Amino acid sequence: MAPTLGNAATNKVVTRFSAANGLGAGLAALTAGTASGLTLPQIKTQNIAADLAERTSGATYPAMQVYCEKITNDLTEKFRSISGRVQMAIELRHSQDRIDGLQDTLELFADAATQVLTANRGDWGDGMYYTGGYQVTFGAVKQGGRNFIQVAKVTFEIGVSRN
């Protein structure tokens, strides 16, 4: 049950972010059409380190990794097979040849991602629901990608109640 639940939750997140009112709409609203050359992240559904992704699959930037970090069965509803939470993570990665503006662009992507989450509070179907909380952490700029790379990680929980 656990791997299937993690994949189902990941697919629900990807569906919301790739929809017409998803990440693209959020970026357009934040930049008001002024950010030239800003492209949508490539969405992947795996937990892979940035340096490993570059060496094995030739990563493109900006990138968005969506994956399930943890499944907790609290058994809050005693006669359900799973009644708990699924902790999801979205890693937004951006790389460019100069440090200038890297943090600003990554913050735009993180803001757009949190707007998508805020707009999608409520019942997600299939016994999953999102209450609206999230946490965003920004990593330090490192060498990699096109010369410099930075990662923002958005974590949130999806409630689950299934038989």
Spell out the domain ranges in the chain.
Answer: 2-162
The pLDDT value given to residue 121: 97
- 145: burial class by Cβ within 10 Å (0-12, 13-18, 19+)? buried
Does the domain at 2-162 match CATH 1.10.10? Answer given as: no
Q: What is the pTM of this model?
A: 0.90
The pLDDT value given to residue 56: 81
- The strand pairing partners of 85, in sequence order, are 72, 159
The pLDDT value given to residue 34: 59
List the chain pLDDT tens, one digit each, 163 residues. Answer: 455 899 999 999 999 999 989 998 888 888 876 554 557 788 889 888 888 887 887 778 899 999 999 999 999 898 999 999 999 999 999 999 999 999 999 999 999 999 999 999 999 999 999 999 999 999 999 998 888 999 999 999 999 999 8
